[in-house]
């Protein structure tokens, strides 16, 4: 015996006959009643509808338009052949029942109840997922860091408000697009290459890069990305966050510059000079080339301090350092060695070229200082210059010879250049 389900009071199953046809006896016995109104339901329900083979297709189409795709549609007819039943299912009906058969009705109602139960469970689950998705979106939208999600094809499938603002597009303008749609091509190629590498190996990825901000400026950022895996262990996409480190990079650059520059004159300091010189000397040693070094000293600097004061002495050093830096020539290095003394390294490869450059530096300092109050006190420099072959001596030895030449320049009347033998 088929156990007949009791549907009395169950508002999930209705009899729908627009032509006023009465509810079949066996459906009525199970509590199936006419709906109060005909409209697309908010929750899954089932409708038993009388049907005739003559207008089966148009009837099902009309019902679907009226009731919606998720309504469970059962055609009630004792005149449909197996071929017509198959056609009804193909056209969009969910089930077919013979309303004159108590057994067929009972079996169909059992199937219908189970289908509605599952549909409502799925609807509840979808509602929970939608609520969780909305909750997650609300959470990430309140985070200051730009966050994004991509699938394995590189298409954005989600982002937060900070990311949309960062690239200057509303979220709906991001979803469904690729990095080539939201970034300049050169940067997009770099990002895509990093994504491809992460999708290939999985795990996480952290790297620094430049990005084009929506305001038109370039920003230094740090990308934190992770490959997202599905239940089968395969990589399904990427989740990423962007940290703007522009201010940090600016501070680092300032700290680096402060460590490399003399705080008074802004010329390279002694340590930076030897760091750069080490690289240049090694290259010249490898290429067997000749360099030149110079020791430069401000003439009568004590007199400047004594007569005009230390503040003017500092101004003089700043002015002279700036002049030396402007005239030292491209590729060459000038640095404050300490006090009123400077070092220079020339990579021209010829002592004559280095001599011409160094003497031009001396004359330019004299010209600039003559236009100031320093002219009454001298405002000139003396220079000792020495050729330097890295394969034959070290830098300290070359600087010692240049220093000896400087003293000869000082003893010869100052404001002149002497070349070491």
pLDDT at 376 over 60: no
What is the percent of the chain with per-residue pLDDT over 90, rounded to a whole number? Answer: 54
Give whole-number Cα distances, 19 to 22, 49, 55, 212, in Å.
9, 11, 14, 66
Between 123 and 406, the more confident residue is 406
What is the per-residue pLDDT across 74-107, written as a single tens digit (0 to 9) for each?
999 988 888 988 999 999 999 999 999 999 999 9
**Per-residue tokens: 128:** 């929970």
What is the per-residue pLDDT across 313-356, written as a single tens digit (0 to 9) for each?
899 999 999 999 999 999 999 999 999 999 999 997 789 999 99
CB neighbours of 300 closer than 8 A, spacing ≥ 6?
Answer: 377, 378, 414
pLDDT at 280 over 60: yes
CA atoms of 407 and 414, how far apart (whole Å): 9
What is the per-residue pLDDT across 27-66, written as a single tens digit (0 to 9) for each?
988 888 888 776 666 788 899 999 887 888 888 888 888 8
pLDDT at 201 over 70: yes
Tell me what the mean pLDDT of segment 257-275 comes to. Answer: 92
Predicted pLDDT of residue 18: 67
Least confident window among 138-147, 224-233, 366-375, 398-407: 366-375
pLDDT at 1 over 60: no
pLDDT at 229 over 70: yes
Between 238 and 9, the more confident residue is 238
Yes or no: say if 124 and 116 are a contact pair by the CB < 8 Å rule: no
Q: What is the phi/psi pair of residue 241, to 5°?
A: -135, 150
pLDDT at 397 over 70: yes
Predicted pLDDT of residue 377: 65
**Per-residue tokens: 188:** 């997009």
CA atoms of 32 and 24, how far apart (whole Å): 9
Annotated catalytic residue 185: no
The C-alpha R_g of the chain, in whole angstroms, comes to 43
**Residue 247 Rama label (left phi>0; alpha psi -120 to 50; beta):** alpha
Q: Where are the beta strands (DSSP E) in 134-278?
A: 147-151, 156-159, 204-212, 218-229, 235-244
Tell me what the mean pLDDT of segment 99-118 comes to. Answer: 93
Among the listed residues 29, 52, 103, 340, the single catalytic one is 340
Q: Which residue has the tokens 């509303």?
A: 170
Q: Which of 136, 178, 163 is nearest to 224 (CA)?
A: 163
Predicted pLDDT of residue 8: 43
Buried b vs exposed e over 222-249: b needs ≥16 C-beta within 10 Å? ebbbbbbeeeeeebebbebbbebeeeeb
pLDDT at 399 over 80: yes
**How sure is the predictor about 110, in pLDDT bands with cuts at 50, 70 and 90?**
very high
pLDDT at 388 over 70: yes
The beta-carbon contacts of 2-8 under 8 Å, at least 24 apart in sequence, are 2/103, 2/106, 2/107, 2/110, 3/106, 4/30, 4/102, 4/106, 4/109, 5/30, 5/106, 5/109, 5/110, 5/113, 6/30, 6/31, 7/31, 7/32, 7/109, 7/113
**How sure is the predictor about 374, in pLDDT bands with cuts at 50, 70 and 90?**
low
Tell me what the mean pLDDT of segment 397-414 comes to. Answer: 95
Tell me what the mean pLDDT of segment 103-128 comes to. Answer: 91
With H, G, I as helix, E, B as strand and everything else as coil, classify residue 303. Answer: helix
pTM score, whole prediction: 0.55
Mean pLDDT of the chain: 88
Tell me what the mean pLDDT of segment 190-213 comes to. Answer: 89
pLDDT at 211 over 90: no
**Per-residue tokens: 404:** 């000896």
pLDDT at 6 over 70: no
**Dihedral sign, CA of 223, 228, 233, 234?**
negative
Task: Give burial (CB, 10 Å; 0-12/13-18/19+) of 114.
Answer: exposed
Tell me what the mean pLDDT of segment 290-302 comes to. Answer: 94
Predicted pLDDT of residue 5: 41
**How sure is the predictor about 291, in pLDDT bands with cuts at 50, 70 and 90?**
very high
What is the per-residue pLDDT across 19-31, written as a single tens digit (0 to 9) for each?
778 899 999 888 8
Q: Where are the beta strands (DSSP E) in 51-138?
A: 72-76, 95-97
């Amino acid at each position: 015996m088929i156990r007949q389900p009791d549907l009395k009071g169950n508002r999930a199953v209705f009899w729908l006959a627009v032509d006023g046809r009465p509810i079949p006896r066996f459906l009525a016995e199970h509590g199936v009643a006419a709906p109060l109104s005909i409209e697309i339901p908010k929750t899954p329900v089932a409708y038993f509808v009388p049907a005739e083979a003559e207008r089966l297709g148009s009837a099902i189409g009309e019902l679907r338009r009226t009731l919606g795709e998720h309504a469970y549609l059962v055609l009630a007819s004792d005149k449909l052949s197996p071929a017509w039943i198959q056609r009804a299912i193909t056209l969009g009906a969910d089930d077919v029942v013979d309303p004159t058969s108590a057994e067929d009705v009972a079996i169909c109602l059992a199937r219908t109840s189970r289908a509605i139960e599952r549909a409502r469970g799925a609807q509840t689950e979808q509602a929970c997922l939608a609520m969780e998705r909305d909750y997650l979106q609300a959470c990430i939208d309140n985070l200051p860091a730009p966050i994004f999600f991509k699938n394995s094809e590189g298409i954005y499938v989600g982002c937060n408000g900070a990311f949309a603002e960062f690239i200057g597009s509303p979220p709906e303008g991001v979803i469904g697009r690729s990095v080539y749609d939201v970034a300049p091509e050169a940067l997009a190629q770099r990002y895509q290459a990093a994504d491809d590498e992460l999708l290939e190996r999985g795990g996480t990825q952290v790297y620094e890069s430049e990005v084009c901000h929506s305001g038109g400026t370039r920003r230094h950022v740090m990308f934190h990305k992770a490959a997202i895996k599905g239940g089968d262990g395969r990589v399904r996409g990427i989740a990423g966050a962007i940290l703007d480190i522009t201010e940090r990079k600016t501070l680092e650059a300032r700290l680096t510059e402060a460590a490399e520059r003399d705080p008074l004159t802004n010329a390279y300091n002694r340590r930076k000079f030897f760091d750069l010189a080490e690289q240049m000397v090694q290259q010249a040693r490898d290429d067997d080339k000749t360099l030149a070094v110079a020791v430069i000293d401000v003439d009568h600097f004590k007199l400047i301090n004594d007569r005009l004061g230390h503040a003017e002495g500092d101004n003089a050093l700043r002015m002279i350092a700036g002049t030396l830096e402007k005239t030292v020539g491209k590729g060459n290095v000038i640095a404050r060695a300490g006090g009123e003394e400077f070092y220079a390294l020339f990579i021209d490869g010829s002592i004559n070229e280095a001599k011409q450059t160094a003497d031009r530096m001396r004359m330019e300092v004299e010209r600039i200082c003559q236009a100031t109050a320093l002219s009454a006190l001298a405002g000139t420099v003396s220079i000792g210059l020495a050729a330097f072959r890295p394969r034959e001596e070290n830098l300290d030895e070359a600087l010692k010879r240049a220093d000896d030449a400087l003293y000869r320049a000082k003893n010869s009347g100052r404001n002149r250049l002497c070349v070491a033998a």
